[in-house]
Amino acid sequence: MSGDLSPIDRAKFVAAKRATDFVDDGMRVGLGTGSTAAWLVRCLGEMVRDDGLRIKGVPTSTRTAELARDVGIDVISLDEAKWLDITIDGADEFDGDLNLIKGGGGALLQEKIVATASDQMIVIADAAKEVEHLGAFPLPVEVIPFGWQTTQALIEETLISMDVMGRTSSLRMNGQVPFITDEGNHILDLHLGRIGNARQLALVLNQMPGVVENGLFIDVCDIVIIGYGSGKVEVRDINEGTVSSQQIDFVENDNLFADLAD
């Protein structure tokens, strides 16, 4: 129930709720992965069920696909959609230029493909995700399993010449075994502390053999919607140069708030 939500979950919910205002009937919508994106999927599912909203959802992970189907959203593949009207997703960090770190949930590759195949990308996040400089959150890098330790060593050696504070990395684990992405790859989390030149780092990482993709999303996000525990939401449009805010009221809704699996 909404009354039982923590302040952080309230912030995620109001950001997701506000993002649904950008979704129109007939749209092809990229559906992000993670706890904040899960709120969005639930909100859109409620609109499909109660308001007759007709959309095609393109999920960025198997777990998002499962949730979308559970709430009644018509799920299709990106190949079927070919191009999307909008993608709405969360972020692990964003800066003042709306550059992002994503991939905390392990879906960065599909998330980046879907986001760049969209007319517009909207990020929904709580206020704690805003940073002056990217890098406090470990930067995920998806690598193929073959020779991953060699790839890791190459990355760490290359970081010496990069404008970053830290230069260590770790293989992401799932219990006692390596975490496996939907594409069957591993993830290296880079503990950088602060990234001075995110654009340069993104380009350098993706030139390395063994690296599939990195979690830096540069010049991809158009709008960020920031939620607060009070119910306030702030919308920043990087293209229009506008900032607006409003208050979203909480309404008790058993269907929306029950059994949400983050």
33 is in an annotated binding site: yes
Q: Is 34 a known ligand-binding residue?
A: yes
CB half-sphere exposure, 196, CA atoms < 13 A: 9
Could you tell me which of 212, 125, 210, 199 has the C-alpha nearest to residue 162?
Answer: 199
Is 45 within any annotated ligand binding site?
no
Active site residue 80: no
Are 19 and 41 in contact by the 8 Å Cβ rule? The answer is: no
Q: Annotation-wise, does 16 bind a ligand?
A: no
Q: Is 105 annotated as a binding residue?
A: yes
196 is in an annotated binding site: no
| Residue 90 labeled ligand binder | yes
> Rounded to whole angstroms, how far apart are CA atoms 204 and 136?
19
> For the sheet containing 216-217, what is the strand order?
93-94, 100-101, 216-217
The answer to whether 102 is a known ligand-binding residue is: yes
DSSP letter for each residue of 100-139: EE--TTS-HHHHHHHHHTBS-EEEEEEGGGB-SSTTSSPE
With tokens 């970053």, the residue in question is 164
Q: Is 222 annotated as a binding residue?
A: no
Give backbone dihedrals phi and psi of 15, rounded to 5 degrees, phi first. Answer: -65, -45
- Please give the angle made by the CA atoms of 18, 128 and 203, to the nearest 5 degrees: 95
DSSP string, 60-113: SSHHHHHHHHHTT-EE--HHHH-SBSEEEE--SEE-TT--EE--TTS-HHHHHH
| Catalytic residue, candidates 93, 111, 142, 213 | 111
Q: Is 91 one of the annotated binding-site residues?
A: yes
| Ligand-binding site membership of 72 (annotated) | no
Write the CA distances from 69 to 41, 127, 161, 224, 261, integer angstroms.
Answer: 10, 29, 46, 26, 14
The residues with which 124 forms a beta bridge, in sequence order, are 225
Distance of CA 42 to the CA centre of its chain: 16
Query: Which amino acids are annotated as binding site for substrate, given as ranges?
Result: 33-36, 89-92, 102-105, 129
Q: Which parts are annotated binding residues?
A: 33-36, 89-92, 102-105, 129
**Residues with catalytic roles:** 111
